[in-house]
Chain A
Amino acid sequence: MNEFYQKDIISIKDYNKEQLEKIFTATDKLIQLDPSTRREISKGKTMAYLFYEPSTRTRLSFDSAMASIGGNSLGISDISSSSTQKGESLADTVKIMSIYSDALVLRHPLDGSSRFAAEISSKPVINAGSGTEEHPTQAIQDLYTIRKEKKKIDGLKIGIVGDLKYGRTVYSLLYGLGNYDVDVHLISPESLKIRSDSVYEIKKRLSFTESTNIEEHIDDLDVLYVTRIQKERFPDEEEYLKVKGSYVVGLDLLQKMKDTAIILHPLPRLDEISPDIDGTKNAKYFEQAEYGKYTRAALLGLTLNENGF
């Protein structure tokens, strides 16, 4: 039996390097399969999604991943039109949705929501973003992209820039990178540094430097991971306006980077990466989005099939 069968995907911290490598190998295999064979992997299986926060990208990525392996999806992407508006608890909604499906994909604004849902659900729960806590499938997609584009993860120098306080993708990526021998440089405005209550967990896994100056390590980086300053997570707009547009990656900055460096972004972006970068060989964020579809398809395939694929 494959070890991921029927297992929840709640936190990237639940995975060691060996398990991540198995997921990456499965993704490699899935990409190489011809589409008709791929569509046999989860034929007749149903994925339910439950999105309590607006999302197009992640939900469509899951949808498209499930379709590519022959499965169906159903769910609620606009929670304002659902029975939750009538006051139904998350617990009840999860219980019902797990009756209708083989796996449940949940995005919710509260931290810990996926772990709670997993206790309630009779089917595996996949965390598609829980508050500012984690976004494990994004981290798997990010690590896969680095591995694919740089041919390795160990030994790389990785800069992460932007909103490190509220960005859940950053936390999951850092926990995931903790499995590898990497140098990490965190770059953010002072007010958006990583949260002190998460530093303990991160420091257990890897060492990092912090800076407010994006140029400090720029000539040394192999990977620059750019994140959006998320307006929706700020308690008040004035604070947001103070840091909006703090870092913009443009051609001038790119010229200072290694020729072989890659630029990633979990998307959507606002103005933090100039469109001038899009056509360069260093821009890999659209490839990253494509790899997201395959890594999610591989995760779904492994979760739903006892013997893998």
Chain B
Amino acid sequence: MEQSELLVRRIKEGTVIDHIDEGKGLQVLNALRIDGRDGSLITIALNVPSGKFKKKDIIKVENKFLKDDDTNKLAVIASKATINIIKDYKLVEKRRVSLPNEIDRIFRCSNPDCITNSNEHIESVMDVIDKEGRVLKCRYCSRVLDVNKLKYN
């Protein structure tokens, strides 16, 4: 285990989201709706030294295992993040997040005049048109969306 991970308490069951870009930790918490209301232990470390000149954020959440929608949100916000699944204090699975070809429902189009923001019965669909550059496009209104301004459904 990296020394940085010892900064916060180990968890028995749950998820460690590591290598979140510096400063994005709180945004990830918000996006994944991790607010501790269910009583689970949550620890968050911001600006943890990582490598020679870099910093990262880390989130540990007890009793939470990310669903596909959560992983997709994470991929948009912090594309270099890794997800570590912990069971009985042991790391049982480690995976990198990656953007799918399309992201359904979870983000709202930031164009207020998009049909997906109307009263029609319709769910948002974002096409990922550049995975490397994290460029998303609303399938309906075709606007290219600023990933830093996305709102969650």
A111 touches B121 (CB 8 A): no
A116 touches B122 (CB 8 A): yes
Q: Is A133 an interface residue (CB 8 A)?
A: yes
A111-B144 contact in complex given A90-B120, A91-B120, A200-B135, C-beta closer than 8 Å: no
B140 touches A197 (CB 8 A): no
A110 touches B142 (CB 8 A): no
A111 touches B120 (CB 8 A): no
A109 touches B120 (CB 8 A): no
Q: Is A308 an interface residue (CB 8 A)?
A: no
Q: Is B8 an interface residue (CB 8 A)?
A: no
User: For the complex, what is the distance from the CA of A89 to the CA of B121, rounded to whole Å?
Assistant: 9
A197 touches B121 (CB 8 A): no
User: For the complex, what is the distance from the CA of A133 to the CA of B142, rounded to whole Å?
Assistant: 8
User: For the complex, what is the distance from the CA of A200 to the CA of B144, rounded to whole Å?
Assistant: 7
Q: Which residues of B contact A112 (CB under 8 A)?
A: 109, 114-116, 138-142
Q: Is A11 an interface residue (CB 8 A)?
A: yes
Q: Is A131 an interface residue (CB 8 A)?
A: yes
B142 touches A116 (CB 8 A): no
Q: Which residues of A contact B141 (CB under 8 A)?
A: 110-112, 131, 133
Count residues of B near A (Cβ-Cβ below 8 Å). Answer: 22
Q: Is A59 an interface residue (CB 8 A)?
A: no
Chain B interface mostly helix, strand, loop or mixed? Answer: loop
Q: Which residues of A contact B139 (CB under 8 A)?
A: 112, 115
Could you write out 27 A-B pairs with CB less than 8 Å apart? A11-B142, A91-B121, A91-B122, A108-B115, A110-B113, A110-B118, A110-B141, A111-B113, A111-B140, A111-B141, A112-B115, A112-B138, A112-B139, A112-B140, A112-B142, A115-B115, A115-B139, A116-B120, A116-B122, A116-B140, A131-B141, A133-B141, A133-B142, A197-B143, A198-B142, A198-B143, A201-B137
A201-B120 contact in complex given A109-B113, A112-B114, A112-B115, C-beta closer than 8 Å: no
Which B residues are closer than 8 A to A by beta carbons?
109, 111, 113-116, 118-122, 135, 137-146
Count residues of A near B (Cβ-Cβ below 8 Å). Answer: 21
Q: Which residues of B contact A133 (CB under 8 A)?
A: 141-142
User: For the complex, what is the distance from the CA of A198 to the CA of B137, rounded to whole Å?
Assistant: 10
User: For the complex, what is the distance from the CA of A133 to the CA of B114, rounded to whole Å?
Assistant: 9
User: For the complex, what is the distance from the CA of A115 to the CA of B140, rounded to whole Å?
Assistant: 6
Q: Which residues of A contact B143 (CB under 8 A)?
A: 111, 197-198
User: For the complex, what is the distance from the CA of A222 to the CA of B16, rounded to whole Å?
Assistant: 61
Residue-wise interface mask of A (102-114) relative to B, using a CB-CB cutoff of 8 A (1 in contact, 0 not): 0000001111110
B130 to chain A, nearest CB (A): 9
Q: Which residue of B lies closest to A199 (CB)?
A: B144
Q: Is A244 an interface residue (CB 8 A)?
A: no
Q: Which residues of A contact B111 (CB under 8 A)?
A: 111, 197
Give 7 closest A-B pairs by Cβ, nearest first.
A112-B140, A111-B141, A112-B141, A112-B115, A200-B144, A110-B115, A197-B143
